[in-house]
A and B are shown apart, each in its own frame.
Chain A
Amino acid sequence: MPDLSHVDDYPEIPVSLRSSRGVLRTGDWRNMRPVLAERVSACTHECPASVPIPRYFHHLAAGRLEEAFATFTLRNPFPRITGRVCPRTCEAGCNRVDREGPVSIRDLERYLGEATAGLPHLPSAEATGSKVAVVGSGPAGLSAAYYLRRSGHEVVVFESQPEAGGMLRYGIPEYRLPSAVVDDEIARLQAMGIRFRTGVALGGDLDLGNLEDEYDAVFVATGAWLGRSMGVEGESLMESGLDFLVASHDAGVRPPGRRCAVVGGGNTALDVARTLRRLGAEATVLYRRTPDEMPAIGEEYRAAVEEGVAFEFLTLPRALRKDGADLVVTLETMRLGDPDDSGRRRPEPTGDDREARFDAVYSAIGETASLEPFPDALKGGDGWLAVGPSGETKADRVFVGGDLATGPATVVEAIAWGRRTAEAVNERIGGGYEVPDWVAEQGDGVVGPTDINPATFPDTDPHHAPHLDAAARLAAGMGEEAGTMTDAEALAEIERCYSCGYCNECGTCFVFCPDVAIRWEDGPVFDYTFCKGCDICTTECPGHVILTVKEEEVARG
């Protein structure tokens, strides 16, 4: 220190002559402190598989493909599949939904899937010596097989069909999910060491009791494939919609005539109708309620309308008969009555009948699971399987899941169930896979729209993956209808993400901290020696990742 006995010893400005870090420990003034508190984004919260969406977006944006893939597959092994067929509940939850529309999460998921299609799956944990059988190779079975294998178990997947994939391969039409993608994903699972045995059916070559003896655990996810009976006269003249979808994967399949009708309002019905249009037929959907009650995914309905599928609502087939080459269907007009158990208004008959002529009528009123292979010991009082939240049954070694447990549901719900069961199996027989620290550190609060600091983000319209228009879709036949975003589109779309609850290292807190009390070490680090607890970083944090907590609460733990 100069002795300051002469004016020339002084600085031009009032400034400390020693380092202020030594003398001004402003953190002593603090009674509140900022903490980095990662929480669950609204999109992740709405995702049945809980995919950590902002986190993998951040890795993608930073060019860290392998990290993005590892982050995604922590929750869902198949971004190439759900990136095509997911109903996007995440996007409905996106905090940007009421601004210019949600972030195009599914398109980005597909982008991730395609960008990482050549990567092998993460290495499996050390071998446990345990063996697990998975019966059924649909999304639930494949997901469980993946997580069980990753946990170090020996895994064998049994499939009754000639090829693995279940509904992914046989139920979902080619134009939504090409078989080649399913082939690739099965091959990638095989490369992990998962074995597949096809053409063996439970109740046929396979016996549940034998599997229980031979394996440490058995996961049955055989799906819901049984068509339901409508109980109408001449029902045997109808064809199974699901069988038609299975057959549609073979080139050269043609509908039996030009005038086709599909009975039902679910995803299978619409898949059948849209497939019929692609194969050159006319398709009329006969549904006993109105569009508001249809269980099908909304975007499937809109696409069907665009493709010229006709809809006759409040219409119920009462009888079918042959008249020469024609199928004559008696249709009764319905009206909506009071809500039923599902909350949807119940269709009631009006007695008003009419006739219509078709070349073929497909039934797609919902599928159900076959319980034939299961012993009564596994059934509950209602005659259905007694199933715990993670697929536990009354038998120690037997777990069930997917559509078999839930009834017809979405691919992503089946994938989520598969992972849940794999974890339940691990709890029972040991084994597991490495889970990064953030999973345990993440709070369970959900970041909502009012938590966000939207002013940080410019108004930007969403970017979408290419999608054929209706005419081009029909012209493409069973060819895939959607494409993948370019790198530039994907990066621009990730820019739109608010990164709710997840620190994507945007640096806003660092810039705004008036006390230089945030150091940057691959992310913000609070320097509590100097942080006064002013709350500015919390206020400015765009994704609401920083919270301010009372010091006394910190002291209490």
Chain B
Amino acid sequence: MGERHLLTGNHAASYGAKLSRAEVISAYPITPQTTIVELLSEMVASGELDARYITVESEHSAMAAVIGASAAGCRTYTATSGQGLALMHEMLHWAVGARTPVVLTNVTRAMAPGWSIWSEQTDFLSQRDVGWMMLFAETVQEAQDFVVWMYRVAEQVFLPGMVAMDAFILSHTSEPLIVHDQAAVDAYLPPFDPLYTLDPAEPRAYGGLVNRDHYFEIRYKAFEAMERAGRLLVEAGEEFGEALGHRYGPVDPFMMDDAEIVFVSAGAMTSNVRYAVTLLRERGIKAGLLRLVAFRPFPFEEVRRLLEGRKVAVLDRNMSSGHSGIFAEEIRSALSMGAAPTEVYGYVLGIGGRDIRVETVLDVADDLMSRDEPARTLYVGVKGLPIGPARADREIARLAPLEEVSP
């Protein structure tokens, strides 16, 4: 079933859209996403993919275009990154309110300034509250498969979904993967049956003014749909395994059965964490790993069941400034509702694309084992500083005058 290929994460995502038979694609190029839609535009131009490719002048318009196309009854796909995702923000809300099951791939990228094209998850996690389903891919295979999986769920609950992958570490790294047989994907993912279609014969006003008497009920229905999506995501992930040979779920535990210390991670950095766990096990340390695959809907049950009572280090390549790494915040929240006391240590690392090496994870493990009191946010690898919390008493330093101005 399927064919083995060697593809980058970005091209795998293109194949995910192609296998899903996306009918309308609209995107604005942005590094490190660009090669996703480049390949798709070639597929559309050559006729390999029977779709319309709409070029636009901004990500805001790209999202508007796919929302419109989705409302008109088409399966739609887009991809973006960093600033592009931020520019889409307003329209991301709209896609939810309009209940258009758009699927988007976001290649995570640190936000400017300083300008950076390197990986960081803050762009993606900043969209936490827009109401989209959110998945985090670790491998090239997942960069492809999660697009298909996402459509399967999105089109049942009529909510949009985004799949994240880390810039370069995954987006531009080639790995072997199985490009699935189209017929098998077709069997798994039926054609889009829209909730409504724009039809002059059925003239209605969509997305208009809704007063206070009615707004809550309509939004409530979207909240309910997201709750339903949690169950469907599990079901569809299992069916993916049956139909296409790769089983997916909202979390991905590794060596968790007897783990005393547990790392929580998401995305491509997880591969190094997994290897670090095996090294720690060789040293006799009962380490484990819980990879978060689904971020929205959040896998409360799984997180609680798997982390309860253990010593947890959450590795966040992101930061909600003034609070914690975003995953740490979410994990603590999930564990606060009736779980046994669980120590959660928040580690923030790899900001702006700095490498998270196996050694980095082992340093975190040493630090974790040296602590006996949960810490909110511990920064790892800031030059000149040991792993530790941010300094609240540091004076702000002004720029020293330039020594030389010209030429």
Residues of A within 8 A of B (CB): 4, 7, 10-17, 19-21, 23-24, 516
Q: Is the pair A16, B204 in contact by a Cβ cutoff of 8 Å?
A: yes
A-B contact pairs, 30 of them (CB 8 A): A4-B214, A7-B217, A7-B220, A10-B214, A12-B99, A12-B158, A12-B222, A13-B97, A13-B99, A13-B195, A13-B196, A13-B206, A13-B218, A14-B97, A14-B206, A14-B208, A14-B210, A14-B215, A14-B218, A15-B204, A15-B205, A15-B208, A16-B204, A16-B205, A17-B204, A19-B203, A19-B204, A20-B203, A20-B204, A24-B205
Q: Which residues of B contact A13 (CB under 8 A)?
A: 97-99, 195-196, 206-207, 218
Residue interface mask B392-403, A partner, CB < 8 A = 1: 000000000000
A10 and B195 CA atoms in complex are apart in Å by 14
Take A10-B221, A20-B203, A516-B203 as given contacts and tell me if A15 and B196 are in contact as well, using a CB distance cutoff of 8 Å. yes
A381 and B221 CA atoms in complex are apart in Å by 94
A175 and B208 CA atoms in complex are apart in Å by 70
A7 and B218 CA atoms in complex are apart in Å by 8
Q: Which residues of B contact A12 (CB under 8 A)?
A: 99, 158, 195, 218, 221-222, 225
| B7 CB, nearest partner CB in chain A, Å | 33
Q: Which residues of A contact B407 (CB under 8 A)?
A: none
Residue of A nearest to B207 (CB): A14
A119 and B310 CA atoms in complex are apart in Å by 94
Q: Does B200 contact A (CB under 8 A)?
A: yes
A4 and B220 CA atoms in complex are apart in Å by 14
Q: Which residues of B contact A10 (CB under 8 A)?
A: 214, 217-218, 221
Q: Which residues of B contact A516 (CB under 8 A)?
A: 200, 203
A320 and B203 CA atoms in complex are apart in Å by 88
Q: Tell me how many residues of B have a C-beta within 8 Å of chain A.
A: 23
A19 and B205 CA atoms in complex are apart in Å by 8
Q: Which residues of A contact B158 (CB under 8 A)?
A: 12
Q: Is the pair B97, A23 in contact by a Cβ cutoff of 8 Å?
A: no
**4 nearest CB pairs, A to B:** A20-B205, A16-B205, A7-B217, A10-B217
Contacts A4-B217, A516-B200 known; list 19 others, CB within 8 Å.
Answer: A4-B213, A4-B214, A7-B220, A12-B99, A12-B221, A12-B225, A13-B97, A13-B99, A13-B218, A14-B210, A14-B214, A14-B215, A15-B196, A15-B206, A16-B208, A19-B204, A20-B205, A23-B205, A24-B205
Residue of B nearest to A9 (CB): B217
Q: Is the pair A21, B203 in contact by a Cβ cutoff of 8 Å?
A: yes
Residue of B nearest to A4 (CB): B214
Residue of A nearest to B219 (CB): A14
Q: Which residues of B contact A19 (CB under 8 A)?
A: 203-204
Across chains A and B, the number of contacting residue pairs, with CB separation under 8 Å, is: 55
| B154 CB, nearest partner CB in chain A, Å | 14
Most chain B beta-carbon contacts within 10 A, residue among A14, A20, A23, A24: A14
Residue of B nearest to A14 (CB): B210
| A1 CB, nearest partner CB in chain B, Å | 12
A11 and B98 CA atoms in complex are apart in Å by 11
Q: Which residues of B contact A15 (CB under 8 A)?
A: 196, 204-208
| B377 CB, nearest partner CB in chain A, Å | 40
Residue interface mask B120-153, A partner, CB < 8 A = 1: 0000000000000000000000000000000000
Give chain B interface residues in 173-214, CB to chain A under 8 Å.
Answer: 195-196, 200, 203-208, 210, 213-214
A21 and B205 CA atoms in complex are apart in Å by 9
A21 and B214 CA atoms in complex are apart in Å by 22
| B111 CB, nearest partner CB in chain A, Å | 31
Residue of B nearest to A11 (CB): B218
A224 and B225 CA atoms in complex are apart in Å by 88
A138 and B218 CA atoms in complex are apart in Å by 79
Residue of A nearest to B198 (CB): A516
Give chain B interface residues in 11-53, CB to chain A under 8 Å.
Answer: none
| B400 CB, nearest partner CB in chain A, Å | 53
| A469 CB, nearest partner CB in chain B, Å | 37
| A78 CB, nearest partner CB in chain B, Å | 46
| B164 CB, nearest partner CB in chain A, Å | 27
Q: Which residues of B contact A11 (CB under 8 A)?
A: 218
Q: Which residues of B contact A24 (CB under 8 A)?
A: 205
Q: Which residues of B contact A14 (CB under 8 A)?
A: 97, 206-208, 210, 214-215, 218
A15 and B204 CA atoms in complex are apart in Å by 7
Q: Which residues of A contact B203 (CB under 8 A)?
A: 19-21, 516
A10 and B217 CA atoms in complex are apart in Å by 7
Q: Which residues of A contact B225 (CB under 8 A)?
A: 12
A13 and B208 CA atoms in complex are apart in Å by 10
Most chain B beta-carbon contacts within 10 A, residue among A10, A17, A19, A516: A10
| B156 CB, nearest partner CB in chain A, Å | 13
| A25 CB, nearest partner CB in chain B, Å | 12
Question: Among B98, B204, B207, B221, which residue has its beta carbon within 8 angstroms of that of A7?
Answer: B221
Residue of A nearest to B68 (CB): A514
| B32 CB, nearest partner CB in chain A, Å | 31
| A134 CB, nearest partner CB in chain B, Å | 56
A7 and B195 CA atoms in complex are apart in Å by 18
A24 and B220 CA atoms in complex are apart in Å by 26
Q: Which residues of A contact B217 (CB under 8 A)?
A: 4, 7, 10
Residue of B nearest to A19 (CB): B203
Give chain B interface residues in 85-126, CB to chain A under 8 Å.
Answer: 97-99
Residue of B nearest to A24 (CB): B205
Residue of A nearest to B210 (CB): A14
| B273 CB, nearest partner CB in chain A, Å | 40
| B65 CB, nearest partner CB in chain A, Å | 13
| B198 CB, nearest partner CB in chain A, Å | 9
| B40 CB, nearest partner CB in chain A, Å | 22
| A20 CB, nearest partner CB in chain B, Å | 4
Q: Which residues of A contact B214 (CB under 8 A)?
A: 4, 10, 14
Residue of B nearest to A17 (CB): B204
Q: Which residues of A contact B205 (CB under 8 A)?
A: 15-16, 20, 23-24
Q: Which residues of A contact B196 (CB under 8 A)?
A: 13, 15
A351 and B222 CA atoms in complex are apart in Å by 99
A23 and B215 CA atoms in complex are apart in Å by 20
A10 and B222 CA atoms in complex are apart in Å by 12
Residue of A nearest to B195 (CB): A12
A4 and B210 CA atoms in complex are apart in Å by 13
| A520 CB, nearest partner CB in chain B, Å | 10
Q: Which residues of A contact B206 (CB under 8 A)?
A: 13-16
A11 and B208 CA atoms in complex are apart in Å by 13
Q: Which residues of A contact B218 (CB under 8 A)?
A: 10-14
A15 and B215 CA atoms in complex are apart in Å by 11
| B217 CB, nearest partner CB in chain A, Å | 4
A392 and B14 CA atoms in complex are apart in Å by 75
| A491 CB, nearest partner CB in chain B, Å | 23
| B196 CB, nearest partner CB in chain A, Å | 7
Residue of A nearest to B98 (CB): A13
| B223 CB, nearest partner CB in chain A, Å | 11
A23 and B195 CA atoms in complex are apart in Å by 23
Residue of B nearest to A16 (CB): B205
